[in-house]
Amino acid sequence: MNLPFFSRFNKKVLPLYYLVLILRDEKARAVIFEELEGRVKIIGQKEEHFSVSIDAVSQEELLEKLDKAISGAESTLPENIQTQKTIFGVKESWTDNDQIKKEYLAKLKKVSSELGLVPIGFLVIAQAISHLLQKEEGAPVSAILTEINKKSVTVTLLRAGKSIETRSSEIHDSIPFTVDTLLKHFNIPEILPSRIIIFNGKEDLSQEFISHAWSKSLPFLHLPQIYSLPTGFDAKAVLFGAATQMGFEVMEKDIPATTETQNETETQNFSALEKLSDSAVAREKNLIEEPILYKNLGASDFGFAKDVDVAKMEFQEEQPTRNVHQDDAGGKVIPQIDEEEYAIPNPPKKPDNILTLAINTLAAILGLIFTIAEKINIKKILSFATSGKLITVVPAILILIVALIVSYFLFLKATLEITVDPKILEQNKSVLFSTTKPTDPSQNIIKGEFITTSEDGSVSTPATGKKDVGTPAKGTVIIYNDSDTARTLAEGTILKAPNGLEFTLDSSTTIKAVASHSANENPPPEKTTANVTADQLGKESNLPSGTKFSVASLNTSEIIAINDNPFSGGTKKEVTVVSKSDSTKLEGDLLKQLENNARKDLQEQVGQDKILLSAFISETLSSKSLNVKIGDEVNQVTLTGTVEYQGLSYDKNDMITFGKFLLSKDIPLDQEIDFNNIKASVLDIKNKNDEETEASLSIKALLLPKIDENKLTKDLKGKPFKTAEDVLYKLPQVANVKIKLSPNLPLLPKNLPAREKNIKVLIKING
């Protein structure tokens, strides 16, 4: 049975979904757009950054980042729906003669194969941006297009809407300086455009470019004007170019904003900008160059073919599969739309959000009911209707539907999870931790408390000292006295050999004087025998017999010593012993070894509201004992001792008070300090006396944007997810937005609750 009133609920027009994958030098953005009855709107997008340039990134990281971006963009798709038809936005350097270069074709082939994508065309990002600027300004653009990345800059020279030359470089000194240097390497036969267009910069760099002193060698007619494109302009440009060339109507309300002065009226529903399939006449009236979407009939036309290795293919220049006119010189002239014929009409007034939500919800529920009714035997429905029971059942069904709608409005809840990028605020100050004075930020005083703990332990280390051990050489000498004076040599008297080695007498020895004689006589000298021992170790002292020795400081003409027999017994070897430096090293090792235990013990003494300084106030080795003496021959030495550690703690609230005093100056009105995430580090700790300690204090805090949660929930109640996300992404420092609905029922419209108190705002800090 077909009921005319409900016939519109039985018609199902399924939307088609396309993926636009924009590949930039340091990041990739995935944009999902939905095409329904010839109209296009964005339903999801996600951006991922590469660790290095896309030209140098590994295939594994490239696949991982693209998969994350696509998955994030697809998170808003209906269940079990994934995009496959893909349009690539690529860099100018990836193309040559309107075709993607072989090495990048191989890379895109791998991406498409691994991620299950079906490529249907590509656009050059710079050309797409030029075209969209041309549409907005009404004339072809001549400018220096500058893409700002974290580590590099890409400069493209646009003349009359055409890309003339592109160069890239890592950032040196400053961004304007790098652009200045790149422009010097351009092949510039004429005047440079006096307009620089910046895009992709995270912050407004206009002032930095304006204040830059441009090189006199650059052929500017006058100082260049600086213009910054809004965030997301490249994504908008690629989407406009792709959708326009595919013959779809582009809904401007669903395209990322292109100006920074938009307000709430811009969220209204605009009519279609253009539809190429019906604009052949308009194209012939006004021929202006558009960005080329290089669409292909098959995967092989794009450079992807089944069972074919792209790296081994021969590549020939192909014409894009679209209608073009040829000029007299054989060049391509691409027809475009007559702007006046397809002007944007005034936008219709939107109904109240709550009323719209109620109507959409009722339509969805009724559609579900009649979809189920179609599957029920029509004869049973007719039999039931003729029995008269339908009169009582229909009101009950309507009451149930109304109850479901009311319950949905009353119990629907949503969480707005806003992730923000914080700014870091840091202050350094010399402070005094005092155990007797209260905290006073104006005097740089923080109330502190000394705490101590003792730790026992032992450490070992290999001995590093060296010492010679052995025996000295021994022998007997005959001492001759040729003077008329008797000589007594004490024990230990030194006898020196000709090679400089020294020996000492083992005992005292007396030598008689030579007997008196006449002038004609020459009596022999007196002599005596004595034992000697070498002063040094080693076999070098084992001297041969007949060696002559001088005795102390006596004249050798009067007294000498000679050994009749060789000396023997001298030995020497080097051994490892304990040195003083070994002991000093062990003391330092013991202090370090016990530090972790000391910190744990000190922390246990500190309450939950207290903070323990990371550095110790003092470390004292109160007792120590080596297992051997210094100089003993050993391979390993062990030190056992007790170390006393002293720390200092302070109250968390005192640090917050101190931090507020230091950090709250000159804070912008639209930002606030996150005092729950204050981090303090103390350096250069010095004990001033038993009550005070001086230190250098560094305080870091996060600056977060001020977000009025009450106003936010009031403004967003009943709004569609997409509208809410657009509003939230315009808030300062917002990096990501997630909207969670509870209960999240299928088939019902994705709108925020109509009651403010059912919307919860959750602020998260990125990283």
- For every residue of 634-687, DSSP letters joined together read -SEEEEEEEEEEEEEEEEHHHHHHHHHHHHSTT--TTEEEEEEEEEEEEEEEEE
Provide the pLDDT for residue 142.
Answer: 87
pLDDT at 318: 36
Q: Which pLDDT score is estimated for 362?
A: 58
| CATH number 3.40.190.10 is the correct assignment for the domain at 8-126+235-333 | no
| Residue 741 bridge partners (DSSP) | 414
C-alpha span between 126 and 130 (Å, rounded): 6
The ranges of the chain annotated as CATH 2.40.30 are: 471-571
Using alpha carbons, list the distances in angstroms from residue 15 to 35, 78, 243: 6, 11, 15
- Strands 692-705 and 99-100 turn out to be unpaired
The reported pLDDT for the residue numbered 189 is: 59
How far is residue 283 from each of residues 246, 289, 339, 340, 675, measured CA to CA in Å?
Answer: 15, 11, 10, 12, 61
Kindly list the distances between the CA atom of residue 206 and the CA atoms of 149, 158, 439, in Å, as whole numbers in the listed order: 15, 19, 45
| Extended beta strands in 171-304, E state | 195-199, 225-228, 249-250
Q: What is the CATH number of domain 471-571?
A: 2.40.30
- Other beta carbons less than 10 A from residue 372's beta carbon: 9
Provide the pLDDT for residue 340.
Answer: 34
Rounded-to-integer distance, Cα 326 and Cα 380, Å: 67
How big is the CA angle at 715 (ends 712 and 717), to the nearest 5 degrees? 100
pLDDT of residue 633: 84
Task: Quote the CA–CA distance of 543 and 565 in Å, as a whole number.
Answer: 9
Tokens of 453: 């703990």
Distance CA 86, CA 32 (A): 9
**pLDDT value, residue 372:** 54
Picking from 357, 334, 321, the residue whose alpha carbon sits closest to that of residue 284 is 334
| Residue 535: per-residue pLDDT | 92
CB 158 within 8 A of CB 126: yes
Q: Position of tokens 């005097």?
A: 443
- The predicted pLDDT at position 80 comes to 74
Peptide bond connecting 732 to the previous residue in cis, omega within 30 degrees of 0:
no
**How many other β-carbons are positioned within 10 Å of the β-carbon of residue 461?**
15
What is the rounded CA–CA span in Å between residue 382 and residue 86?
Answer: 49
CA 363-366-369 angle, 5° bins: 150
Instruction: Provide the Cα torsion 294, 299, 302, 306; round to 10°.
Output: 180
Query: What is the model's pLDDT at position 548?
Result: 92
Q: List, run by run, the mean pLDDT of 10-residue segments along the chain (767 residues).
A: 44 77 86 80 86 85 88 81 82 82 86 86 86 84 87 86 85 86 78 84 73 84 83 80 72 45 30 30 36 44 38 36 34 33 36 52 57 54 56 71 70 88 84 88 87 90 89 92 85 91 92 68 82 92 91 84 92 89 88 88 84 83 87 89 89 82 78 79 79 84 86 89 88 88 76 87 83
Residues of the chain with CATH 3.30.420.40: 8-126+235-333, 137-231
CA distance 605 to 601: 7
CATH architecture of residue range(s) 137-231:
2-Layer Sandwich (3.30)
Angle, CA of 186, 188 and 189, to the nearest 5°: 155
Nearest in space to 167 (alpha carbons), one of 93, 115, 114: 93
Structure tokens at 108: 């895109």
Residue 383 half-sphere exposure, CB side, CA atoms within 13 Å?
A: 5
Residues 6+ apart with CB under 8 A from 379: none
pLDDT at residue number 338: 34
On whether the CB atoms of residues 605 and 453 are closer than 8 A, the answer is: yes
pLDDT at 235: 79
